[in-house]
Amino acid sequence: MDLSNEFGSDDFMKGRYAGDVGVHARFYTVMVHNEEESAKAGRPIHIEKEFIEIIASGNPNNIIRRKASDEDRQRFRRQYEIFGRDRDATGEQLVGTPLVEVPWLSKPQVHELAYIRVHTLEQLSSLDDNTCSRFAGMYDLKRKALAAVEAANKAAPMTEMALQMEQMRAQLEDLLAQNKELKSAKSK
């Protein structure tokens, strides 16, 4: 079978990602809950992870959203560079309690804080006085954040112990179920 009519010689020279011409990719970040760190801290702790959205042109039902891999960063290098430029100037990975999880903050307050690049309770609690002086009510928010972080730190050992007890309880239930299965298999 002669395939020379279907493929031109330059089709093989365009590279591995030549078919991506009609593909749209967008990188974004998601705060992912970290149970282990949350138990240690005594409050919800999330870690910022990079995700990718890939959409095939002309097919709105074919959308892939998943954690970004090194291959994705290489494959969609231009989009990843744009994403990197648009990200926070510090380039640091966010770790902490997202402000949307803080019950005493309203949505408008969370949006205002995001505007000045404050996204976590820990960032809010560590704002410097210069920043606080530029925004009405910021000192009060900082004091509340400090109190919340300190209270959670005090409760952290108990929270971690409760998580460990729950894990041990689940292991015990599994062992009891296995024991029951072994006994029933032995009696047959």
Both 83 and 143 in a single domain?
no
The whole-number pLDDT of residue 13 equals 47
Residue 157 lies in a domain: yes
Residues 101 and 187 in one domain: yes
pTM of the complete model: 0.48
Q: Single out the residue of 20, 19, 27 nearest to residue 70, CA to CA.
A: 27
Q: Are residues 91 and 103 in the same domain?
A: no
pLDDT attached to residue 177:
92
- First-to-last alpha carbon distance for the chain, in angstroms, is 62
Please tell me whether residues 103 and 35 are part of one structural domain. Answer: no
| Cβ atoms within 10 Å, residue 47 | 14
Residue 63 has φ and ψ, to the nearest 5°, of -120, 130
DSSP state of 100: G
Task: Fill in the amino acid letter for 72.
Answer: D
Instruction: Give the domain-ending residue among 35, 66, 96.
Output: 96
Checking if the pLDDT of 172 tops 90, the result is: yes
